[in-house]
Structure 1
């Protein structure tokens, strides 16, 4: 093949009217806007997926690490002091422990407070810490759920708009052919494909993260009850 033939082949390939790039460039303004919107949503969705995955992985890992240390027989006062002096922020089970232990020691040092009142206050403090930690883990999950439910309809709207324009243009000619309407329909269907491309990963990630979050929340609940039992025995000793 000569150089001229090669150049001609490359140009004809790059100028393929049915390529995705050309279909996007020749699409109507509303369809182009929808495609760009779906692309931006998809990028943001993937960023949140990676970020939430890292957060949940870290939460599971840190919870297991803290539980191993907690049940190793370490003195609770020393454990609380170590957490307070550490530069790293207290999160997860560490936050539940700190909230409960500090409230327990504060109420126990007050005169005239019954063991039942001490445990009630301690349990409330840990419940508040538990709610805050779960709220941190749930952050941005609602966005993924919204993306999974809304983006297919946004893409479908772009498809309907593009096909509508194609048939309007088709009605203006006397002799219609498939070649005349095919590009318009193809560019419209790209919007639906992009909507699904944004929705499917978001739905999969949301379901997976929700399941993992439930397991972590159960782990927090179990620790809260077990730690309450330890403090209950300490309060009545």
Structure 2
């Protein structure tokens, strides 16, 4: 009775090219899983920070005190960076003695738009890599499978009588490459779709805040102008 062949044995018996394909896919999978855990933590934190800040913002807190409190932090990120950028630009333009409230609001909105673009770039970090892994891994695995099966049939050409026992190991080691390609691709695609949805949801929250904050500053600026 023949001994069972392990995955490690099949890997060692595979050709150099198939081994390289397997190692590449394994590396893709490890790196992708590390990014998945990292992105999951960051996006969950951004979602919670968005909710916490909106609760504080709409609780009636004084905007100047809120700005001073947030600016005192060593590192400002997420929706807080949008608020700081907007309020800082608003204060700067107001000190410039600009009489047109719309100019002040437009300048404030542009400052927040720049901050929004920077924050979204941070949230989307590593997502293109996941998309790439999800797209190319099955094809890389298929390439390793085709190469391994081709070598198996070439080797069979040198024998007079082929048996299943002779063919099976070569085909098995080749098919492992396809399995590893799917193993790397499926989690990457699922994570990319999930995280893309979360980023879009967070970005929409940032955009809504920008519009609402701009409206508040516009009313405040108009009231100050009418009070003169």
TM-score band (shorter)? over 0.9
Q: 1:78-129: CA deviations, max 9, x gaps?
A: 0000011123x11111011001101001101112442111111011001111
Q: Contact 1:155/1:194 (CA < 8 Å) preserved in 2?
A: yes
**Among residues 220, 230, 234, which one is paired with 2:206 in the alignment?**
220
Match of 2:154 in 1: 168
- Whether 1:49 aligns to 2:36 is yes
2:85–2:111 Cα contact (<8 Å) kept: yes
Residue 111 of structure 1, aligned match among 80, 94, 97? 97
Which residue number in structure 2 is paired with residue 21 of structure 1? 8
TM-score, normalised to structure 1, is: 0.92
Alpha-carbon distance between aligned partners in 1 of 2:25 and 2:186, rounded to the nearest angstrom:
13
Q: SS in structure 1 opposite 2:140?
A: helix
Q: Secondary structure at the match of 1:176?
A: coil
CA deviations over 1:158-179 (Å, ceiling 9, x no partner)? 0000000000001110011111
Alignment of 1:24-173 (within 5 A): 24-87=11-74, 89-173=75-159
Measured in 2, the distance between the counterparts of 1:204 and 1:32 equals 26
Q: Distance in 1 between matches of 2:23 and 2:17?
A: 10
Distance 1:231 1:93 in 2: 17
Whether the 8 Å CA contact 2:14–2:170 is kept in 1: the answer is yes
Q: Which runs of 4+ in 1 moved over 4 A?
A: none
Q: Distance in 2 between matches of 1:196 and 1:156?
A: 10
User: SS of 1:236's equivalent?
Assistant: helix
Is the aligned partner of 1:198 residue 2:184?
yes
| Alignment RMSD (CA, Å) | 1.2
TM-score, length-normalised on structure 2?
Answer: 0.95
Change (3 A) 1:112 1:186: closer
| Displacement after TM superposition at 1:19 (Å) | 1.7
Deviations 1:6-44, CA, capped at 9 Å, x for gaps = xxxxxx99x53x321111111111111111111111000
Aligned length: 223
